[in-house]
Chains A and B, each alone.
Chain A
Amino acid sequence: KAGVTQTPRYLIKTRGQQVTLSCSPISGHRSVSWYQQTPGQGLQFLFEYFSETQRNKGNFPGRFSGRQFSNSRSEMNVSTLELGDSALYLCASSLDRPSGEQFFGPGTRLTVL
């Protein structure tokens, strides 16, 4: 069974631009969660989607948004990029709820210049 895939792996943007990251969960997994990881803050929860609906949301500004498609694939979007948005963005999938086992993708390394 294929694991969680994320595209792209690396991304360089400038301040003010927007970016869209993609995540394909493990086949059969319906819950997809997104996390931001930085050296100073560790792993911070962004949001979780289940059956195309945002079920949980972390404490991030509205510039961070996401969606999930009928095939459970998910995208997250960050608008008006700031230098502080530079981070590793991780996607994790689980069968039905994130409090069970989560499986992570390799992440997208976003650098904002």
Chain B
Amino acid sequence: TQLLEQSPQFLSIQEGENLTVYCNSSSVFSSLQWYRQEPGEGPVLLVTVVTGGEVKKLKRLTFQFGDARKDSSLHITAAQPGDTGLYLCAGGRGNQFYFGTGTSLTVIP
């Protein structure tokens, strides 16, 4: 059983569309990160959120941490082919770090 569940698992959209990826848990996390990973490479950190209700924006990407610090969402506006990749959420609790199940995004030109 994964501590962090992501949905959807796969997403294929046309360039210019908007999308939202969800990361849910029944556990509370002290912080939550989002990563993007391209095939054969390591995950690259996109953002860290630490405060319940926090919203961070990174160009066309908007990240939100749930009020109870159990869930998070990633919203992409006007998706571009360069957004294609595996999106992973990860949460920290004490000295442990847990990864979500991942969302594979394909943006079709």
B99 surroundings in chain A (CB, below 8 A): 35, 42-43, 45
Q: What is the interface of chain B, defined by CB distance below 8 A to chain A?
A: 2, 30-31, 33, 35, 40-45, 48, 88, 90-99, 101-102
- Structural contact, A90 and B33, CB atoms closer than 8 A: no
A4, A33, A42, most chain B CB atoms within 10 A: A42
- Asked if A75 is an interface residue, CB under 8 A from chain B, the answer is no
Q: B99: nearest residue on chain A (CB-CB)? A: A43
Residues of B within 8 A of A56 (CB): 95-96
Pick the 10 closest A-B CB pairs, nearest first: A99-B92, A104-B42, A98-B97, A43-B99, A104-B43, A107-B42, A106-B42, A105-B42, A90-B42, A101-B48
Cβ of A32 within 8 Å of any chain B Cβ, yes or no, is no
A100 contacts B by Cβ under 8 Å: yes
Count how many chain A residues have C-beta atoms less than 8 Å from C-beta atoms of the other chain.
25
The residues of A with any CB-CB pair to B shorter than 8 Å are 4, 6, 33, 35, 42-43, 45, 48, 55-56, 88, 90, 92, 97-107, 109
| Identity of the chain A residue whose Cβ is nearest the Cβ of B6 in the assembled complex | A42
- Cα of A6 to Cα of B40 in the assembled complex, Å: 13
